[in-house]
Structure 1
Amino acid sequence: MITHKQRRTEKGFCFKHYYKWILCFSLTLYFLVSFFVDHDQEEDHPLSSSSSSRSNPLLTNPKPKLLASHAVFESKIHDSTLEFSPRRLNIKTDVFNNLKIYVYDLPSKFNADWLANERCSNHLFAAEVALHKALLSIEGDVRTKNPYEADFFFVPVYVSCNFSTINGFPAIGHARSLIKEAIGLVSAQYPFWNRTSGSDHVFIATHDFGSCFHTMEDRAIADGVPEILRNSIVLQTFGVTFKHPCQEVENVVIPPYISPESLHKTQKNIPVAKTKERDIWVFFRGKMEIRPKNISGRFYSKRIRTEIWRSYGGDRRFYLQRQRFTGYQSEIARSVFCLCPLGWAPWSPRLVESVVLGCVPVIIADGIRLPFPSAVRWSEISLTVAERDVEKLGEILEHVAATNLSVIQRNLENPSVRQALMYNVPPRDGDATWQIMEALSKKLNRSIRRSNAFI
């Protein structure tokens, strides 16, 4: 006969058994659901190299979601290419008038695939890569993950990355077709391009003649700005003060890219900090043809570099070198004046290197339009010599050295001036990315969001 105590014991045993069964079932169900959720997320956001070329969900869904997007390229950059976490900039709302930029997550063929060549993100045309990375590194503030609240749409197509060809010339023959394909993609899958014909879309062109997408000026002029881009905004290193077909588009002149790491290394290794201790008076290292060749009716540098070599190659005040040297930044850091003559195009990476390393830039490129004039007062930190006066260069520099050189050098020491020409990831207050955002904030009349706000 079962006693009352035995019944209680048996009942407790059954309850424990039942509780264990419920717990086991719950855990099994939890892990099963977790597996399918994770699996679905991996399908939506592939990270492996075998799947990195797939279109991201926003480009395959005719009605884009308003959820935060961590699509193919962004995920790949943050997981492997960049060593940082997105951060929130210390930006007051009124600095950029509450500017909002949406960065399209394009398939990797338009950008990330080019980074297989390491030089792609380090040469003078790499501002397109640096700016893209800088924008992706911003958490909140200017960059928005909701395209419906954006003022501008950044289209990250790398058109200057394939620079390191056998002959050393940039290879941008693919640029027009690649941009056209990207526009076709976003205009078919998003509503934003079509509603403004691309007037609130931003592209970047960081080679010789910018939005004309050719390295030779005669061909660039003949081709002009692609019709499909004429309503958009182009960030380009090319800029002149006179009318030019390659400026017949809304544009912002930006500085060429110089690696912050290389400059910091040079500054660390060169103890010369005081300008009066610089032991090179006038410096230039680069291509100077003794017998310039006529290419498509033009001579390299309009023969200006040839004339510099002929006139001053034997002058002990001038340190002129025609051969390549990887440590040439150390020579800039030791120099008082750094010559910045035009090449095929008027701009040069020497402009940035000279300013950051405290060497007075001597700009020899008639009509050049320089980047960020409101942040960098070029007339106070550089000299401009007309191309026709290159034979008088020695006399001009002697006069400056005897009069206002010390004032120019003091102006060059301003950290904010140097910062404005550098691309940092993540961006820093006042740097090149910051200046670009400020320039865009002055074009908010193109934002459909702003115009709708008053309807």
Structure 2
Amino acid sequence: MKEKIFLPPPALAQALAQRESLRVIDTIADNGPYHSRRAFLDDYRDMVNTMKVFVYPCSPRDPFSHIFLPTSSAPSGNYASEAYFKKALAESGMVTDDPSQADLFFMPFSITRLRNDPKVGVGRMPAFVRDYVKNISHRWPYWNRTGGSDHFYVACHSIGKVALEKAQHVRLNAIQVVCSSNYYVQGFIPHKDVAMPQIWPRSESFREIKTIEQRKVLAFFAGGSNSPVRANVVRTWRNDTQIHAYPSRIQGSYAEALLRSKFCLHVKGYEVNTARLGDAFFYGCVPVVIANYYDLPFSSVLNWKSFSVVVTTANIPKLKAILSGISREDYSQMHRLVLDARRHFQWHAPPREYDAFYMVMYQLWLRRHVVRYPLH
């Protein structure tokens, strides 16, 4: 008789993993990468235990169901954060079928899928979103009682701004969870909206991190010169021996370039969002943000000054002096905090404690209404 092997059910396995994650974050020295570790932990547990979201339903038979329902396949591409959020929410236990229990209401249209749908595309997207909001406001009572201020949608692609051209009341009232969190450009309102990290999907676990001594390159950047800021970085530093800046893909391993660099540059392209912040955390590289007016992800929780360097575009010529002026002791501290914070910059489905999904939900939790509106 073959011996039976006991495997814990997924719910138990997830609970054990979450308990371990709690233990790890609770042992972080002082405040770690957080403004206040204890305040965050206490409020976070309250959020996980009580937060409920009502998702506007869509039938699988609907001709546009692929726009609204979570994908069955693993999310992929540069804008995977949008699909990951929807999958993680569906598997999180936070969704309620009872709107009276909901803290927030989710409009699950996908900007990326609307953009790529031949029946919609960029040109018809504004009318699609306008008609969708009009439809739910007529069929359901929840939008009208708050003007949509307890509703949210998710958009990682910067084309999301275009999607709301015919629905300005959505832009002004609903919570926008976006990767392109540029508060200089009209449309993003920092105290209302939520900055979500743009993270390239990876099936592998965190990479083995090289020690500080193994990181011989001062700073690294590679990417298309699709903005004056990137062009300036490459023009200024492309021939430098300590800062390696490339105008396109590098020859060789991009991962190894990140692993052997002390600092990794997050440089504004067409928009402020790129996946390079996620890359920096994944490979244990201290991020350098060169993007004016960027509302950094999870800034209400994470003390970005403790583990990153923010450089205005005007100071690009001073970049080497700024980075070289950081002492070994200070860099060591920043590097340690990057490793403490990087669990917040990965997606999982189902979600794992403190990952990108739960951090986005925490930002939404902070924006929920204090006053609960009656349903009658």
2:151 alignment partner in structure 1: 201
2:86 alignment partner in structure 1: 132
Q: Secondary structure at the match of 2:298?
A: coil
8 Å CA contact 2:79–2:157 kept in 1: the answer is: yes
Q: 1:190 aligns with which of 140, 161, 186?
A: 140
Q: Secondary structure at the match of 2:47?
A: coil
Instruction: Return the alpha-carbon distance in structure 2 between the equivalents of residues 452 and 115 of structure 1.
Output: 28
8 Å CA contact 1:208–1:344 kept in 2: the answer is: no
Map 1:23-422 to 2 at 5 A.
Answer: 94-95=46-47, 98-107=50-59, 109-110=63-64, 112=66, 121-139=75-93, 142-161=94-113, 172-208=122-158, 210=160, 212-213=161-162, 223=165, 226-240=168-182, 244-248=185-189, 250-261=192-203, 264=205, 267=207, 271-288=208-225, 300-301=226-227, 303-324=228-249, 328-400=254-326, 404-414=330-340, 417-422=341-346
Q: Secondary structure at the match of 1:355?
A: helix
1:445 alignment partner in structure 2: 369
Instruction: Return the alpha-carbon distance in structure 2 between the equivalents of residues 117 and 285 of structure 1.
Output: 31
Q: Secondary structure at the match of 1:258?
A: coil
CA change 1:184–1:236 in 2 (3 A) is: same
8 Å CA contact 1:285–1:321 kept in 2: the answer is: yes
8 Å CA contact 2:89–2:95 kept in 1: the answer is: yes
CA offsets 1:142-183 (integer angstroms, 9 cap, x no match): 221223322211111011246789xxxxx6444322322322
Please state if 1:428 is matched with 2:369. no
Q: State the 1:356 CA deviation.
A: 2.6
8 Å CA contact 1:103–1:136 kept in 2: the answer is: no
CA change 1:111–1:381 in 2 (3 A) is: farther
Q: State the 1:401 CA deviation.
A: 5.0
Q: State the 1:451 CA deviation.
A: 3.9
CA change 1:336–1:163 in 2 (3 A) is: farther
Percentage of identical aligned residues: 25
CA change 1:316–1:353 in 2 (3 A) is: same
Instruction: Return the alpha-carbon distance in structure 1 between the equivalents of residues 49 and 67 of structure 2.
Output: 35
8 Å CA contact 1:120–1:163 kept in 2: the answer is: no
2:47 maps to a residue whose letter is V
Instruction: Return the alpha-carbon distance in structure 1 between the equivalents of residues 260 and 292 of structure 2.
Output: 27
8 Å CA contact 1:352–1:421 kept in 2: the answer is: yes
Computing the radius of gyration over CA atoms, which structure comes out larger, 1 or 2? 1
CA change 1:234–1:94 in 2 (3 A) is: same
Instruction: Return the alpha-carbon distance in structure 2 between the equivalents of residues 399 and 224 of structure 1.
Output: 49
8 Å CA contact 1:365–1:386 kept in 2: the answer is: yes
CA change 1:354–1:97 in 2 (3 A) is: same
1:61 alignment partner in structure 2: none
Instruction: Return the alpha-carbon distance in structure 1 between the equivalents of residues 333 and 347 of structure 2.
Output: 27
8 Å CA contact 2:106–2:151 kept in 1: the answer is: yes
2:92 maps to a residue whose letter is I
CA change 1:146–1:260 in 2 (3 A) is: farther
> Structure 1 length normalisation: TM-score?
0.64
Instruction: Return the alpha-carbon distance in structure 2 between the equivalents of residues 385 and 111 of structure 1.
Output: 43
Q: State the 1:310 CA deviation.
A: 2.0
CA offsets 1:387-408 (integer angstroms, 9 cap, x no match): 1111121222211255622221
8 Å CA contact 2:54–2:104 kept in 1: the answer is: yes
2:27 alignment partner in structure 1: none
CA change 1:440–1:402 in 2 (3 A) is: closer
8 Å CA contact 1:120–1:162 kept in 2: the answer is: no
Q: Secondary structure at the match of 2:187?
A: helix
8 Å CA contact 1:333–1:357 kept in 2: the answer is: yes
Instruction: Return the alpha-carbon distance in structure 2 between the equivalents of residues 127 and 426 of structure 1.
Output: 14
Q: State the 1:281 CA deviation.
A: 2.9
Q: State the 1:424 CA deviation.
A: 1.5
Higher RCO (C-alpha under 8 Å, 6+ residues apart): 2
CA change 1:348–1:425 in 2 (3 A) is: same
1:387 maps to a residue whose letter is T
Instruction: Return the alpha-carbon distance in structure 2 between the equivalents of residues 233 and 225 of structure 1.
Output: 13
CA offsets 1:22-64 (integer angstroms, 9 cap, x no match): xxxxxxxxxxxxxxxxxxxxxxxxxxxxxxxxxxxxxxxxxxx
Q: State the 1:338 CA deviation.
A: 0.7
CA offsets 1:107-160 (integer angstroms, 9 cap, x no match): 465462699999993223222211110011123xx2212233222111110112
8 Å CA contact 2:79–2:156 kept in 1: the answer is: yes
How many corresponding residue pairs? Answer: 334
8 Å CA contact 1:275–1:358 kept in 2: the answer is: no
Segments of structure 1 that go 5 or more residues without pairing to the other structure are: 1-83, 166-170, 215-219, 289-299
